[in-house]
Amino acid sequence: MEPTEIAVPAPRVAAPLAAQRQPIFRREDIRPTLKNPSANAREFFFTRAIYNGGGRRWGAWATDFPKADRQFLTILDRLIDLDAYEMENAIQLDDPAVRRFPFLYALEVGNMYMTEAEVKGLREYLLAGGFLMIDDFWGTYEWQNFEAEIKRVLPEYQIVDLPLNHPIFNTVYNIEEIVQVPSIGNAQGGPTWERDGYEAQVKGIFDETGRLMVVINWNTDIGDAWEWAESPYYPLRYSTYAIEITVNIIVYAMSH
Amino acid sequence: MFESLFKFLFKYRPIIFDEGSLAFRPTTATFVAAVVVVAIGVVTFQTYQRVRANTRPLDRAVLTGVRLTILAVLLLCLFRPVLVLSQVVAQQNFLGVLIDDSRSMAIADRDGESRADFVTQQFGGEESPLLTALADRFALRLFSFSSATNRITSVDDLAFDGTRTHLGQALTRAHEELAGVPLSGMVVVSDGADNADVELSDALVPLEAAGVPVFTVGLGREEYSRDIQLSRVDTPRSVLKGAALVVDVLLTQNGYAGETVSVQVEDEGRIVADQEVTLPADGEPATVRVRFTASDAGARLFSFRVAPRPDEMVTQNNERNALVVVEDTREKILYFEGEPRWELKFIGRAVEDDENLQVARLQRTAENKFMRIGVEDAEDLIGGFPRTREELFKYRAIILGSIEANYFTPDQLRMIADFVSERGGSLLMLGGQRSYAEGGYAGTPVADVLPVLLNPTAGDGEDGFFIETDVRPTRAGATHPATQIAETEEASGARWLELPPITLVNRITDVKPGATRLLESGDGSFVVLAFQRYGAGKALAFPIQDSWMWQMHADIAVDDQTHETLWRRLLRWMVDGVPDQVVADLPTDQTELDEPLSLRAEVDDANYEEINNSQVSAWITDPDDELFEVPMDWTADRDGEYASSFVPRKEGLYEVRMEATSDGELLGSDTAYIRVAPSDSEYYDSTMQASLLERVAEETGGRFYTTDTVDSLVDDIQTVGGGVTVVEERDLWDMPVFLFLFLALVLGEWGYRRSRGLA
């Protein structure tokens, strides 16, 4: 079982990541880490779902990849006491190894067109106990596409709004409002929305026992906020919210 | 055979020689005759000395010796040897006859006749030989004995329906009743299947001191030719509702070796288990492991039985009952994780549907930041891991995840160890970067509790050890209730081998002496699950970090229940038998009407330290729902132990709730149940216990008889017995053995002469 990088079929992005690899503060600076040198021994992998869909370059799934992932993991390591693998980890939904990673992140799902094998893989993954976080899709059209796709996966479960008193909003950080996180292009001023996605919403899909299987961040681009968190031109308010809600979602997924 | 030959040669039975002392009764004529014999002897000797014709010195010596021996025998007879005996005077003495009145006497193992039939034949009426012979010489006092001992006037008063045999009590009672009269001894007619709890020697020592011999007559066979017996059934007194019970049933048999029978378990009318077993060789015990689920709450009576075979000699010993209290409580378990981990999610999920387990999950997400799931209220565990014994000891089990030892204060580490050793709770440590030696536990009180040896080379996670391995059950694990992940033992063993691999980051290779390894890595080199008893509780090591793979792995079907079953059984086994502050203890689950029952309670305060000044009461609800209170007092023998007793006056189920208060505050309560019904114990191990009856006879100076040797009983009592006796002398000179010796010597001399040509 090789759980990590091999699952990425695409060539690595040669982005200048030196800054992300050497953050000013690492957790080890504050208290000693207990990380096992073997990647396979790690508890948490920030895992991207590779799915069939449209999009530029390698596909919609790889938007912001892998800078957003690495940058988020660097921050995550400083914030909470989680034994997380430091690098990105992407895996196809129809790969049986996906079950090794009970947390999945998928974005740009407005352009998602899953194969039958992917639908089956994701369905079994979610029913077995896996958790899916959806991000970065905007407006009615993309919603409709995502809704149609997720109905193929979980036809028997409804998508419902998550109220602010749901534990996911205060698992680690207390989140008092749902913020629309704009992409880097819209963060400098002007409207924060894209297409007709004026209001950010957080929705969920629960199984019959009340377990949250899917959390859907609609009309928001949390991934961009991780990717540009270090940029002096990206407002702190958005990146703070993006990081806080993701930390909450991960901790919630790992405990409920 | 030996005895008749002895009597033929020596005129009397060996017992007469045992009891009598040898003496000589010569008269004046004896001395005259003796002088004559000596004179003949001298003449004989001299004659042989002189004769030389044709003889060798050896011939002369032999012939002289034979002659002199003949004369010595004559001389011995002339001195009139006698045995001096004290004999019981007829009709001057009393004899206690104690007859077993228990159910086992009705067993027909004497060629179709029951043991009771012998009693009727020998003691039944005027014509009965033994009764008549005894009555001729003694004043008889008859007693019946089973649970109680009673005077009876004739054996017609016997019903053979006693549910117990209390032999010691019967001897003491009869001895007391016959004190003050001249007593020759006591006769016990019984199969010897004594099942009293008291030591028999307590009754025998006074009898021996008073010189009252007990003559025992053993009835029945020492071994049945065809019988199956459920010798023992070990069930827990109480279990959680829904618990999967694994019960060992010990079976013994004679005459059915190699046959297959089935052991059935019935839960108040419903068959809940049916386990086939091939019977072992005669006399060898077989252990049958039966599994069933305790699905209904309350005090449940489980019956274990093997269907009687058509030609079985005793069928009543094919069944045993066990009263098991099936608790419908919610047992609290504290699971503490030092970091967000998937185990927390999946263990929580595995047991969330189990109404009898409440797993309070405390997870550290960042320094001094905790997440609480499944807690009782908003205040519960708000400050992190409990800091007082009282707060910690309200749980029955603790699971420690990946949490470094440094997180805890020395007091907290000591408290966790005391949780196991003093409070009697269970501790389980999961694997992880911050568990075991890698988490800095070496040298802490918690390391003492753990059943495994910590890796001495690991230093705070720098070891970098990591392996992925399959898991297999050990021999103990294949049958242990905590590791049963399928319906049958075989299916469970096979399922373990199918499960996907898991990973280990703690290098744990050895268990401590006395600990049990239940699961190990596929190559046997690493411990995966082990446990040991430590003080009052138990400690488990489960050093894997991703048992959730048994739920999530692609090889596991989405609806597979293996992971859920494992964690439910494991956690249920952990909380099973963990005591409360008050523990009600009854010596047994069944007693008889009017038999005093001792009540015992162990009482601890909230810190689980024994408390001697609390007010303890037993609230007893009888089968007619009448409630009464029995106050209990501190025994002064042991700290925290309170005792009392009560006598059940009705048949049926009694509920005994023991409740303790201190300074007006309730410390706790515990409920036990007892069934009041006639006991079946008479039918178990009901063969004649010759060794016990022999011991009674030997220690008191009496004799043991079987139905074949009982004829000599009356004469023996007369010889051995006490009471009013006279001294009697019995001649020995006319013993046939002297005549035979005389003849043998004379004929021997003649034969020797013939062979040597000297005649």
A102 and B342 within 8 Å at the Cβ level: the answer is yes
Domain limits, chain A: 42-253
On chain A, the residues whose CB falls within 8 A of the CB of B549 are 100
Please give the residue of chain B at the shortest CA–CA distance from A101: B552
On chain B, the residues whose CB falls within 8 A of the CB of A124 are 554, 558
374-403 in B: which are within 8 Å (CB) of A? 402
**Looking at residues A223-240, what average pLDDT do you find?**
93
From residue B421, alpha-carbon distances to B182, B442, B609 in Å are 60, 18, 12
Task: For an interface test with B, give the residue of A30, A46, A255, A256 to mutate (most B CBs within 10 A).
Answer: A255
From residue A89, alpha-carbon distances to A50, A226, B368, B554 in Å are 10, 16, 30, 18
Cα distance between residue A135 and residue B711, in whole Å: 103
B466 and A43 within 8 Å at the Cβ level: the answer is no
Burial of B623 (0-12, 13-18, 19+ CB in 10 A): middle
Query: Residue B461 pLDDT > 50, yes or no?
Result: no
A255 and B371 within 8 Å at the Cβ level: the answer is yes
Cα distance between residue B38 and residue B213, in whole Å: 46
Query: Residue B376 pLDDT > 50, yes or no?
Result: yes
Average pLDDT, chain B: 90
B373 and A255 within 8 Å at the Cβ level: the answer is yes
From residue B741, alpha-carbon distances to A85, B9, B198, B738 in Å are 107, 10, 54, 5
For chain A, say whether B501 makes contact (Cβ under 8 Å): yes
- Amino acid of residue A152: R
**Looking at residues B487-511, what average pLDDT do you find?**
93
Q: How many CB atoms lie within 10 A of CB B250?
A: 15
Q: Between the CA atoms of A130, A135, A141 and A147, what dihedral angle is there, to the nearest 10 degrees?
A: 10
Sign of the torsion angle spanned by Cα atoms B552, B555, B556, B557: positive
B505 and A36 within 8 Å at the Cβ level: the answer is yes
Query: Residue A9 pLDDT > 50, yes or no?
Result: no
Q: Which helix (H) or strand (E) holds B373?
A: strand B369-373
For chain B, say whether A82 makes contact (Cβ under 8 Å): yes
For chain B, say whether A128 makes contact (Cβ under 8 Å): yes
pLDDT at B458: 65
pLDDT at B716: 87
For chain A, say whether B338 makes contact (Cβ under 8 Å): yes
**Looking at residues B667-694, what average pLDDT do you find?**
89
Residues contacting residue B411 through CB under 8 Å, at least 6 positions apart: B387
On chain A, the residues whose CB falls within 8 A of the CB of B439 are 34
Please give the residue of chain B at the shortest CA–CA distance from A83: B339
B552 and A81 within 8 Å at the Cβ level: the answer is no
A13 confidence band (pLDDT: 50, 70, 90): very low
Q: What is the pLDDT of residues B151-183, one digit of tens each?
A: 998 888 888 888 888 899 999 999 998 888 888
129-188 in A: which are within 8 Å (CB) of B? 129-130, 171-172
Q: Between the CA atoms of B462, B464, B465 and B467, what dihedral angle is there, to the nearest 10 degrees?
A: 160
Please give the residue of chain B at the shortest CA–CA distance from A31: B367
What is the model's pTM?
0.80
Burial of B403 (0-12, 13-18, 19+ CB in 10 A): buried
CA angle, A208 then A209 then A211, to 5°: 100
**Looking at residues A237-241, what average pLDDT do you find?**
95
Go through the domains of chain B in sequence order and give each one's CATH number.
2-86+729-756 (no CATH), 90-222+687-710 (3.40.50.410), 227-325 (2.60.40.10), 331-575 (3.40.50.880), 582-676 (2.60.40.1930)
A253 and B503 within 8 Å at the Cβ level: the answer is no
How far is C-alpha B725 from the geometric centre of its chain's CA atoms? 44
Region of poorest pLDDT, from A77-81, B43-47, B68-72, B654-658: B43-47
For chain A, say whether B369 makes contact (Cβ under 8 Å): yes
pLDDT at A95: 95
On chain B, the residues whose CB falls within 8 A of the CB of A37 are 464
For chain B, say whether A120 makes contact (Cβ under 8 Å): no
Residue B86, strand partner residues = B727
Please give the residue of chain B at the shortest CA–CA distance from A30: B367
B551 and A80 within 8 Å at the Cβ level: the answer is no
A254 and B345 within 8 Å at the Cβ level: the answer is yes
For chain A, say whether B466 makes contact (Cβ under 8 Å): yes
Task: For an interface test with B, give the residue of A83, A104, A156, A212 to mutate (most B CBs within 10 A).
Answer: A83
Question: Which of B353, B361, B461 is facing A34, going by the closest CB pair?
Answer: B461
Q: What is the pLDDT of residues A102-150, one digit of tens each?
A: 999 999 999 899 999 999 999 999 999 999 999 999 999 999 999 999 9
Cα distance between residue B541 and residue B535, in whole Å: 16
A171 and B365 within 8 Å at the Cβ level: the answer is yes
Closest CA to B317 of B237, B264, B252: B252
B345 and A129 within 8 Å at the Cβ level: the answer is yes
CB B226, CB B196: distance < 8 Å: no
pLDDT at A28: 52
Pairing relationship of beta strands B369-373 and B357-366 according to DSSP bridges:
antiparallel
Identify the CATH homologous superfamily for domain A42-253: Domain of unknown function DUF4159 (3.40.50.12140)
DSSP B579-611: --SEEEE-S-SEE-TT--EEEEEEEB-TTS-B-
B640 three-class SS: coil
Tell me the H-state helices in B432-474. Answer: 445-449
Query: Residue B692 pLDDT > 50, yes or no?
Result: yes
Task: For an interface test with B, give the residue of A38, A43, A94 to mutate (most B CBs within 10 A).
Answer: A43
